Structure 1
Amino acid sequence: MNSISLHIVLAAGGTGGHMVPADVLGQVLRARGHHVALVTDERGLKLPGLFDGVPRHVIPSSTLSGGPLGWLRAWKTIREGRAAASRLYESFHPSVVVGFGGYPVLPAMLAARKMGIATVIHEQNSVLGRVNRLLARKVDMIATAYADVKWLPSATLEKTVMVGNPVREEIRALREQPYPALSDEGLFRVLVVGGSQGATVLSDIVPDGLGMLPPNFRSRLQVTQQCRPEDIERVRETYARLGIPAECATYLEDLPQRLAWTHLVIARSGASTVAELTTAGRPAILIPFAAATDDHQTFNARDIVEAGGARMIPQDRFTPVELAKQMQKLGLEPQALANAAGRARSVGWPDAANRLADLVEELGYSRIGWNVETRAFEDA
């Protein structure tokens, strides 16, 4: 640990894709002795289990939509958010502000830039998000989860570093565990997840698709499925009718433990999901969210699919029949699944959180004039 602590603000919009990697980085920075505060929106406060013990601040923010009148209203809200962030910085004195995407990041970063505070944005997806697109040329450093990021301005490449996407320590620990044993007659455990909010299309398709599997395969299934609250009862009823043992929940607090014994994951290809699959080494069938901005979930899945660690089904071709076909191709050959797990693992970046923390520390120390090697201020 270095001899001087930094004050660092993390800014993230209130979805799991932004908040989870921000929380992971916060844990690493606090373990290194730094002081961390969070800037988010109301949604961010509602996600359970994140930023425990960290001061959390909600600032005004707005989407940039609605035509000229909508833009004027949004800019007024953004200015209010920038003022609120400035007041926080005047009392907390951060040396670095790190943004993870989402609309609260824009006023937080504008305030930091105006006050001369060092700035970093982290892009979790393989397509630069809208807010990060607005900020890319203005910030000091850009950290990415992919080597090739669409819409990243060429003028920013010199200040761009690939670090990967931070995942929870419990997920990183799975990397050191072997892929769960799978025999021709043993249980076949399937985990179905749709991101932090669930996905209705998975509730619509997956139970019926699993029900189309041959009886000897279907009888081996043990399913855990995350569902939206409005979908959960009908999903339970469908599995009961099909005779498939299934546990359904709206939120899986013990996801790392579930992933540990899972043989196959069926999921969206959000950035956090792909990072967890590639870190832990679990094969998957991925269904990108068709309405995702710039189709970024399709691009997120590219590396793991090309490596042979996952199969991708576009949403417009995602039917019970297609799912059953892909399940049989994967599930009837235990060694093929184990090989796919290894290929998924081969494209993971398990040390992403530490790599991002190193980048933030380096920028923070240089901004305050602290020399890590001499453990003294440069002008001392």
Structure 2
Amino acid sequence: MKIALAAGGTGGHMFPAQALAEEARSRGWQVMLLTDARGDRYTKDFPHDEKVLLKAASPSASGILAKISAAMTLLGGIGTAKKALKRFGADAVIGFGGYPSAPSMLAAQQSGIATGIHEQNAVLGRANRLAAGKAGFIAHGFPKLDRAPKGAMRLRETGNPVRRAVIEAASEPFDKPMAGGPLHLLIFGGSQGASLFARIFPEAIGKLPSALKDRLRITHQVAEDGIDAARQTYEAAGIDPRSVELAPFFTDLPERIASSHLIVARSGASSVAELSVIGRPSLLVPLKIAMDDHQRMNATVLTDVGAAELILEDDLSVDNAAKTLEAVLSDTTRLTSMADAAKGRMAEGAAAALADLTQDLTAGKLG
């Protein structure tokens, strides 16, 4: 079988697509990836037989000229995708959202190729809504999916596909912190949180009691141009430089999540899914400008069961962050219970379930 995967240019869309690609390859299928230049940054370990980079623009662009430009880009992308899908001989196209996925999904539907959708977030994204009406299935990662169209028979809860590195990291048990022992803190905000987190959390950590601060082993994802400032803030706060690792990107993030006692992160779908699969405590700061406030809704899967603390972006301050960090990190029993609560909060085996749906779709078994 030949399947094409259409995914937008962020890790939140690309990582679940990669998980399905890995599952597809294990079944002997051929895989085409359709993404944009931003998505190409995530393809180093993405298994594929062919890759097509499309030009894409946000359909939500403001201003008449921007909207016209976006429409022309979309039409060009549809044309490129049609040619690529015909050449590849795709049996199905599965879309993972993000506006670069829209031209591929529309091209497939216009060409009579079977399509399916996977929505990672708790709210159906705008690009996925464009293709939802003609999609053979709408798979979703969270137990509830807001903004889904009518036709519940096509809805399938699969969970969010996670990369094999995440599944491997999940086998590592939570390292219960010892009284007075080291505490491993991981901070990552992605492309839309790195600068904010770099401004807030180093200073917040500096306000922690010395006895707690001295126990910390910090791994912090910081944008390249903010590393020097973050390092200076940590040093000014009295943090031993040997206890802090700063980098703009970590290729082994699943392993780092597994070895941490607390993770500070956004509540994007992939982050929430990985925290659930691996089972680790977290402090979540939903992205304020996320479409339809989906990150806040994503977070409830963990916050509702006591697996995570939540600070809304409007409430995020140095003092508030310091207060929350102190309350969680100083209670080792609570850290352990949060880890237990996080484990398995979302459906697992999503990649295999999505591959099964894809196979049924091409066989005409979904009605």
Q: Same fold (TM over 0.5)?
A: yes
Counterpart contact for 2:184–2:217, Cα < 8 Å: yes
2:155 aligned to 157, 160, 168, which one? 160
Aligned to 1:235: 230
CA-CA distance at 1:257 after TM superposition: 2.0
2:360 aligned to 357, 362, 367, which one? 362
Residue 215 in structure 1 maps to residue 210 in structure 2: yes
Aligned to 1:86: 82
Residue 33 in structure 1 maps to residue 23 in structure 2: no
Residue 169 in structure 1 maps to residue 164 in structure 2: yes
> What RMSD over aligned residues (CA atoms) do the two structures have, in Å?
1.6
Residue 224 in structure 1 maps to residue 222 in structure 2: no
Residue 139 in structure 1 maps to residue 135 in structure 2: yes
CA distance in 2, matches of 1:200, 1:292: 16
Counterpart contact for 1:40–1:59, Cα < 8 Å: yes
Residue pairs, 1:137-286, within 5 angstroms: 137-153=133-149, 155-195=150-190, 198-244=193-239, 245-286=243-284
Residue 95 in structure 1 maps to residue 86 in structure 2: no
Counterpart contact for 1:136–1:156, Cα < 8 Å: no
Counterpart contact for 2:207–2:237, Cα < 8 Å: no
Aligned to 1:371: none
CA distance in 1, matches of 2:302, 2:252: 24
The more displaced of 41-50 and 248-257 is 41-50
The more displaced of 188-197 and 52-61 is 52-61
Aligned to 2:107: 111
Secondary structure at the aligned position of 1:240 is classed as helix
Aligned to 2:326: 328
CA-CA distance at 1:298 after TM superposition: 0.5
CA distance in 1, matches of 2:296, 2:309: 11
Secondary structure at the aligned position of 1:206 is classed as helix
Secondary structure at the aligned position of 2:263 is classed as strand
CA distance in 1, matches of 2:146, 2:177: 38
Secondary structure at the aligned position of 2:199 is classed as helix
CA distance in 2, matches of 1:72, 1:208: 44
> What is the one-letter code of the residue matched to 1:227?
V
The more displaced of 342-351 and 137-146 is 342-351
CA 1:242 to 1:66, structure 2 compared with 1: closer, same or farther past 3 Å? closer
Q: Deviations over 1:130-152 (max 9, x none)?
A: 11122211211111111212211
Q: Deviations over 1:298-322 (max 9, x none)?
A: 1110110001100000111111211
The more displaced of 284-293 and 56-65 is 56-65
CA distance in 2, matches of 1:289, 1:318: 11
CA-CA distance at 1:25 after TM superposition: 0.8
The more displaced of 276-285 and 100-109 is 100-109
CA-CA distance at 1:70 after TM superposition: 3.6
CA 1:354 to 1:196, structure 2 compared with 1: closer, same or farther past 3 Å? farther
Secondary structure at the aligned position of 1:8 is classed as strand
CA-CA distance at 1:69 after TM superposition: 4.3
CA-CA distance at 1:287 after TM superposition: 0.6
CA 1:48 to 1:233, structure 2 compared with 1: closer, same or farther past 3 Å? farther
2:297 aligned to 289, 296, 299, which one? 299
Counterpart contact for 2:141–2:346, Cα < 8 Å: no
Unaligned runs of 5+ in 2: none
1:72 aligned to 64, 68, 74, which one? 68
Secondary structure at the aligned position of 2:156 is classed as strand
Aligned to 2:308: 310
- Normalised TM-score (structure 1): 0.91
Count of equivalent residues: 361
CA distance in 2, matches of 1:327, 1:46: 33
CA 1:269 to 1:335, structure 2 compared with 1: closer, same or farther past 3 Å? same
CA distance in 1, matches of 2:18, 2:344: 25
CA-CA distance at 1:129 after TM superposition: 0.9
CA-CA distance at 1:67 after TM superposition: 4.3
CA-CA distance at 1:93 after TM superposition: 0.8
Q: What is the percent sequence identity of the aligned residues? A: 39
CA-CA distance at 1:52 after TM superposition: 4.3
Counterpart contact for 2:143–2:346, Cα < 8 Å: no
Aligned to 1:375: none
Unaligned runs of 5+ in 1: 1-5, 368-380
CA distance in 2, matches of 1:177, 1:19: 24
1:45 aligned to 40, 44, 59, which one? 40
